[in-house]
Amino acid sequence: MSPVVAAILAILFVAFGVLVSILLHEAGHFVFAKLFKVRVGQFMVGFGKTLWSRTIKGTEFGIKAIPLGGYISMAGMYPPTAPGRAADGAEAGSGYRLFQTLVQDARSASADTIEPGYEDAVFYKLPIWKRIIIMLGGPVVNFLIGIALFAIIITGLGAPALLATVASVPACVHPATSTSTVCDSSDAKSPAAKAGFKPGDKVLSVNGTSITSWAQLTSIIRTSIAKPLAVVVERSGREVTLHATPISNAEYVLDPAGNIKKNSAGDARVHDVGYLGIDATEYLKPLPASDIMPQVWSTTTSVGGVVINLPARLVGVWNAAFSTAPRDPNGPIGLIGVGRIAGQIGTDGSPFALQFEQLLAVLASLNIALFVFNLIPLPPLDGGHIIAALWEGLKRGAARIFHRSDPGPVDTAKIIPLTFAVVVVLVAMTVLLGYADIVKPITLQ
């Protein structure tokens, strides 16, 4: 398969996974809304122009042109103006009247969704706990998808591991600081190539020491600069003894997390280690189910850290996009960046099982990100509606405690201007991330 076709297939796989994740997110809202007898006028994936739709039992299901989210339209999202209250902003300045026009338009649009005979099948009349469950339905579905995908990855496919079996033998020696990918006449021939190592050789022992893992083998090689090694390998069902002497080669110094350490001047640290010139064979090793939730928790806290520090992270993205500053590989990424990563996975030359696992990991992480991001307590995100419901519960609870009259539903229409402001910020963030993903993309390490 050509690299271009492989990249396109990988991108389409992730794109389809994202579309399904959005659909199931909205289905989470929809199921609970119907369970609590709320009329749902629309169930849409995407925004903008409707590309396809069909009405089933009073609900229009459809797909729109811009696949950057989705929504369901529930009847009576906003309560009407309280009886006896004057029209908002009648004697205020033009700026205030503009905001109040937005509020009144939202109320009118909400009222238009209430059909005669269904005055009680509305969102704002539901008990607070039911409203919270409806709004949690979408993010929780994404969280469950993330758990399911990590379960498939960890217990079904397994984590990438290395066998003490030769996958490839580089023809020459390149230090870690080199960016060259081809050999020329000035490059030293690798000791493994000189000794006659071949792909598929299974290393059995080194100088009489039995080898049980790739880590054990590399540990011996790295500490054996200029020391002759007798390596016994299994090749085509028979044992072959090869003689090789590791040479000194520069390698980056890494911390426990695998990041390159730097010195006081900010330069990458390198050190000399023994080098033979053999690459390990990768395979997938299934892990116990007890490893699933730690991985889910690690991903959730990692995404949560990005969200909590999102303003600072976006400043970093801006600086990287419009200067020579580096892009933070652990920072926020847009859909274009996700697509590029998917394309890289599809063309990295790994076995299909490893590529499939990596693509599933991308989708698992995206679903965890959807779970965390949608719980941000700002409208129009699900967390904004949850906070509004909790605030209403707090007000009504306080009224009962102090024997006051029921204050009624919180007038959530009043935060429509804030909703518009958040939408503008989200659009700007999407544009910024898209531009940064093009001019300075995050790449796989």
The position carrying tokens 């969280």 is: 143
**Cα-based distances in Å from 333 to 273, 317, 356, 362:** 36, 9, 21, 12
282 is catalytic: no
Residues near 206 by beta carbon (within 8 Å), at least 6 away in sequence: 217, 220, 229, 230, 231, 232
Here the tokens at position 393 are 């519960």
Residue among 175, 194, 172, 171 at smallest CA distance from 244: 194
**Which H helix or E strand runs over 235?**
strand 229-235
Which residue out of 26, 60, 119, 239 is catalytically annotated? 26
**Cα-based distances in Å from 109 to 79, 103, 112, 382, 413:** 11, 10, 5, 19, 11
3-state SS, residue 174: coil
Provide the residue type at 33 as one letter. Answer: A
Which string of DSSP letters, residue by residue, matches 135-173? HHHHHHHHHHHHHHHHHIIIIII-EEEEEEEEEE--SB-
Residue among 20, 17, 8 at smallest CA distance from 340: 8
For 145, list phi and psi in degrees, rounded to 5. Answer: -60, -45
Here the tokens at position 111 are 């009222």
The position carrying tokens 């590529």 is: 355
For 425, list phi and psi in degrees, rounded to 5. Answer: -65, -40
Measured distance between the N- and C-terminal CA atoms of the chain, rounded to whole angstroms: 23
Q: What is the CA radius of gyration of the chain?
A: 29
Here the tokens at position 184 are 């020329």
Q: Where are the beta strands (DSSP E) in 25-158?
A: 40-56, 59-74
Dihedral sign of CA atoms 348, 349, 350, 352 in order: positive
Q: Residue 40 burial (CB < 10 Å; 0-12/13-18/19+)? A: buried
For residue 426, the tally of other CB atoms under 10 A from its CB is: 16
Contact 311, 191 (CB under 8 A): no
Q: Which residues are catalytic?
A: 26
